[in-house]
Chains A and B, each alone.
Chain A
Amino acid sequence: MKVSTQETVRTVGIGAGAKELATEDMTLNIGPQHPSTHGVLRLRLTLDGERISRAEPIVGYMHRGAEKLFEVRDYRQLIVLANRHDWLSAFANELGVVLAVERMLGMEVPERAVWLRTLLAELNRVLNHLMFLGSYPLEVGAMTPIFYSFQEREQLQRVMEEISGGRIHYMFNRVGGLKEEPPAGWTDRARRAVGEVRGRMGRISDLIMGNEIFRARTRGVGVLSPEQIRQYGVSGPIARASGVDFDLRRDEPYLAYSELDVRVVTRTEGDCLARFECLLDQVHASLDLADACLDRLAELPPGPINQRLPKVLKVPEGHTYAWTENPLGINGYYLVSRGEKTPWRMKLRSASYNNVQVLTELLPGNLVADMIAILGSMFFVVGDIDK
């Protein structure tokens, strides 16, 4: 769409004699507390009538100083804190921390723990995506899918709660493995949950994918080009919806992904619908991966689930960068240790932070009504932006 960039000329007087109505750009703040923004992201829009001419995401209303707090937490306490920035992908957040620490220690993780971690990471991905598969249609006016997606979420959350004790903040990773063994019979219950969720996924896709209104509001709206993706460091399902075929699980495998056949879901359109489709298809891909992990877990010989750790865990001096494919995109931890029991510095690269920055380019030229559709399709968690 063509954006009018010329300055609005002020014409004095409104009345019979005036040639045209005086128009002036209007600044509209979306948020920090607005029902259609989840959390406290603030957007400062400049409007020319109904059309957005400038957009600026203003971040930081939920800044909790996570990176500074990391510096005064030991390597077990770190996990509590690190799983909270993106509260929809707690398991994946924990994972990055322990992978970084294990790499610095040169620690080998027991095979069962590796496969179980992979399984839980995929279940966490499904949980995350189901949230957006429910909330995004809600934002563009479709009420029903959220009830379906929450039913599926509940079923998977039960499985996660049974093994870890938590529904959202799992706190189940430890340096060297996992906190505890899964309870007897858990793998069967997990397999059943995966199967049932897969069986019912059609309810959401049938309801939404053929819906004319939904398609009209999302197709061709908010198109991101692969160049923009690369310039802004956008990652995850949003990047793949624009044809940027990059997924760390396949391109730089961690955990057990190198032994799995990771199907990377991509689209080329780069619009809101493509982003939604990527999410939907990714759920199926992740459920398949979860099944593959369960198959492998059943074949593995008995063994430990974690390593015995020293009373005081100190990480040798050095630094490393561990990045993982989180549900919302690339999540990286740059860990610098000076041999203490706490990190000297731990930089957090969160997916949502980069993903929302592209709104500056994405929103101008669109109508205010489309802003909601675009904003919702960026699939961000404000805690992940503000850290």
Chain B
Amino acid sequence: MTRRSVTRQYPEVQPDLPPRSRGVIALLEENCTVCMLCARECPDWCIYIDSHKETLPAEGGGRPRTRNVLDRFAIDFALCMYCGICVEVCPFDALFWSPEFEYAEYDIAELTHEKDRLREWMWTVPPPQAHDPAAETPKEVTVAERAAQRAGPAAGRGPGRNGGP
């Protein structure tokens, strides 16, 4: 009876959400290679990707290279089930979860976020939390350590370098 209320006055007081919270999906456009894995793995196909191929002129006697250029990347959050499979399958770390959740709209079409808007969410992506002490070392760390060892023990410990590739 005499305890303080636990109610959070939401619009005035923002909830403190954990970094893993699945609020909105952010796109780091620079990392996207248009491999389409996310769009294909999405259970309800709410990711729209358009791209075209671009031929880069030959550099220094090599042959001309083609690369994919992303024209459109959109996620329809009206359809999205927030499962996170797209973030999980992305092999190039182009998709991230952000805990931001305040993007309700009056028009359902507005819930389709185009790539500019998805890129803006990137600024809200929190760094991942450290893992439990009993966890196995993440494979990124083991890979980096192995690479550092290959580079030679001297190179890794040199004063000007901080190890790893």
**Chain A residues at the B interface, C-beta cutoff of 8 Å:** 73, 76-77, 79-81, 112, 151, 154, 158, 161-166, 169, 171, 179-184, 186-187, 297, 300-305
Contact = CB atoms under 8 A, between A and B. Distances in A.
Contact of A151 (B6, B21, B82, B84): B6
Interface in B31-50: 41, 43
B130 A80 contact: no
B136 A165 contact: no
Contacts of A151: 6
Contacts of A80: 43, 81, 83, 85
B135 interface: yes
Residue from B6, B133, B136 with most neighbouring chain A CB atoms (10 Å): B136
| Pairs of residues from A and B, 9 with the lowest C-beta to C-beta distance, nearest first | A183-B129, A165-B20, A80-B83, A162-B18, A181-B135, A181-B131, A77-B43, A184-B130, A165-B22
A305 to B, nearest CB: 7
B134 A303 contact: yes
A165 to B, nearest CB: 4
Residue from B85, B97, B134, B136 with most neighbouring chain A CB atoms (10 Å): B134
Given A162-B18, A162-B20, A184 B83 contact: no
B110 interface: no
A161 B20 contact: yes
Interface in B1-48: 6, 17-22, 41, 43
B23 to A, nearest CB: 9
Nearest to B8: A154
29 contacts: A73-B43, A76-B41, A77-B83, A77-B85, A80-B43, A80-B83, A158-B18, A161-B18, A162-B20, A166-B22, A171-B82, A171-B83, A171-B84, A180-B20, A181-B131, A181-B132, A182-B132, A182-B135, A183-B130, A184-B129, A184-B132, A184-B133, A186-B132, A301-B134, A302-B134, A302-B135, A302-B136, A303-B134, A305-B136
